[in-house]
């Protein structure tokens, strides 16, 4: 088991790519089938023994805390009406462990959100998981990152090849292969123009940081729109200590993007034992009708 137990989950952003749904409700609470996105992320953390959980929230994010809290009235109603299965579901959420919360104040970027966790994390390595990036349940990305950190003591990024025209949506990492089969990050750049990107490796929503990332964020000036970019701080960190990468190619959904959200709902629903077969039949019917008429 990895020695890393701390995880920071930034969830204070404005979610503007998913308006109007996110005007008055957190993007992290958008349901994917029947569970809010952030619950998938917290369940993934717990599967990987990351039990010391800090969620960074902000204005309008109260429903996140309510969701993971005990819901006495609802439990009472379910007990009285004998709905044992639903009661079990509701109780399981509040038993996911102790979740701590801190507020970001103003959403001044991902770097700023991670920095809000400094006092909580202290001088330990920690994982950061973006609350709008969900991973398929059988993904071994996070466990591979933890294993790499355990053998090297280094920070580790999750990296995924994307089509060149999409690299402008991500932090981009240039890497070199090391003799032991791992990759080391040699440069990172935030949202490059495709023609100028040093690679097509996108930095995705799982990070494992040594505590020196905090100093790197503090030393990094704000960029566009006054935001403190985590990517810029990672660039700084990589100049003072090795930053490694784990490259993966499947099982990730950025539910902050409307199309990826829809893909997440469809694929996760199809994979569910309870509703998967019935949903597959529905979907076949819809597709047959759509493609018959077009």
Which residue has the CB atom at the shortest distance from ligand UTP? Answer: 13
CA separation (Å) from 190 to 134, 169, 197, 232, 267? 21, 8, 9, 7, 29
Q: Which region, judged by CB under 6 A, interacts with ligand UTP, from 76-84, 130-138, 157-165, 181-189?
A: 130-138
Check residue 115 for interaction with ligand UTP (CB under 6 A): no
Q: Which of residues 46-105 bind ligand UTP (CB under 6 A)?
A: 56, 104
Candidate residues 2, 5, 14, 91; the one interacting with ligand UTP per rule CB under 6 A: 14
Q: Which of residues 246-265 bind ligand UTP (CB under 6 A)?
A: 256
Q: Which region, judged by CB under 6 A, interacts with ligand UTP, from 89-97, 125-133, 206-214, 275-283?
A: 125-133
* Residue number with CB closer to ligand UTP (170 or 183): 170
Bridge partner residues of 176 (DSSP): 184
Shortest separation between residue 162's beta carbon and ligand UTP, angstroms: 15
Candidate residues 53, 78, 110, 188; the one interacting with ligand UTP per rule CB under 6 A: 110
Check residue 17 for interaction with ligand UTP (CB under 6 A): yes
Shortest separation between residue 120's beta carbon and ligand UTP, angstroms: 14
SS (H, E, C) the chain: CCCCCEEEEECCCCCHHHCCCCCCCCHHHCEECCEEHHHHHHHHHHHCCCCEEEEEECCCCHHHHHHHCCCHHHHHHHHHCCCHHHHHHHHHHHCCCCEEEEECCCCCCHHHHHHCCHHHHCCCCEEEECCCEEECCCCCHHHHHHHHHHHHCCEEEEEEECCHHHHHHCEEEEEEECCCCCEEEEEEEECCCCCCCCCCEEEEEEEEECCHHHHHHHCCCCCHHHCCCHHHHHHHHHHHCCEEEEECCCCEEECCCHHHHHHHHHHHHHCCCCCHHHHHHHHHHHHHHHHHHC
Candidate residues 8, 15, 54, 175; the one interacting with ligand UTP per rule CB under 6 A: 15
Instruction: Of 26, 34, 30, 47, give the one whose Cα is nearest residue 96.
Output: 47
Residues in contact with ligand UTP, counted by CB under 6 A, come to a total of: 23
Candidate residues 2, 46, 87, 107; the one interacting with ligand UTP per rule CB under 6 A: 107
Check residue 12 for interaction with ligand UTP (CB under 6 A): yes
Candidate residues 4, 7, 8, 28; the one interacting with ligand UTP per rule CB under 6 A: 28
* Residue number with CB closer to ligand UTP (112 or 236): 112
Q: Which region, judged by CB under 6 A, interacts with ligand UTP, from 107-115, 137-145, 265-273, 277-285?
A: 107-115
Contact in structure between 115 and 106 (CB atoms under 8 Å)? no
* Residue number with CB closer to ligand UTP (38 or 183): 38
Check residue 120 for interaction with ligand UTP (CB under 6 A): no
Residues near ligand UTP (CB under 6 A): 10-18, 27-28, 56, 104, 107-110, 112-113, 130-132, 256
């Amino acid at each position: 088991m990895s020695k890393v137990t701390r995880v920071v989950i930034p969830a204070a952003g404005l979610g503007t790519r998913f308006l109007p749904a996110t005007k008055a409700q957190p993007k992290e609470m958008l349901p994917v089938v029947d569970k809010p996105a952030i619950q998938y992320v917290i369940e993934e953390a717990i599967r990987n023994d990351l039990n010391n959980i800090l969620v960074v929230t902000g204005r309008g994010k109260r429903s996140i805390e309510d969701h993971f809290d005990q819901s006495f009235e609802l439990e009472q109603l379910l007990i009285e009406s004998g709905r044992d299965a639903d009661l079990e579901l509701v109780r399981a959420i509040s038993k996911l462990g102790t979740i701590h919360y801190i507020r970001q104040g103003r959403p001044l970027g991902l770097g700023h959100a991670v920095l809000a966790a400094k006092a909580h994390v202290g001088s330990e390595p920690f994982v950061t998981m973006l609350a709008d990036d969900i991973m398929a349940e059988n993904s071994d990305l996070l466990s591979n990152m933890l294993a790499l950190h355990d053998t090297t003591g280094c920070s580790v990024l999750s990296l995924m090849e994307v089509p060149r025209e999409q690299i402008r949506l991500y932090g981009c990492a240039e890497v070199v292969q090391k003799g032991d089969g791992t990759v080391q990050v040699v440069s990172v750049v935030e949202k490059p123009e495709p023609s100028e990107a040093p690679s097509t490796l996108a930095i995705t929503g799982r990070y494992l940081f040594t505590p020196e990332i905090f100093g790197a964020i503090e030393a990094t000036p704000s960029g566009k729109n006054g935001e403190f970019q985590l990517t810029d701080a990672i660039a700084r960190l990589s100049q003072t200590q090795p930053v490694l990468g784990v490259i993966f190619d499947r099982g990730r959904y950025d539910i902050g993007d409307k199309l990826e959200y829809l893909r997440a709902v469809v694929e996760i629903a199809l994979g569910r034992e309870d509703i998967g077969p019935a949903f597959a039949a529905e979907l076949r019917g819809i597709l047959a009708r759509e493609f018959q008429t077009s």
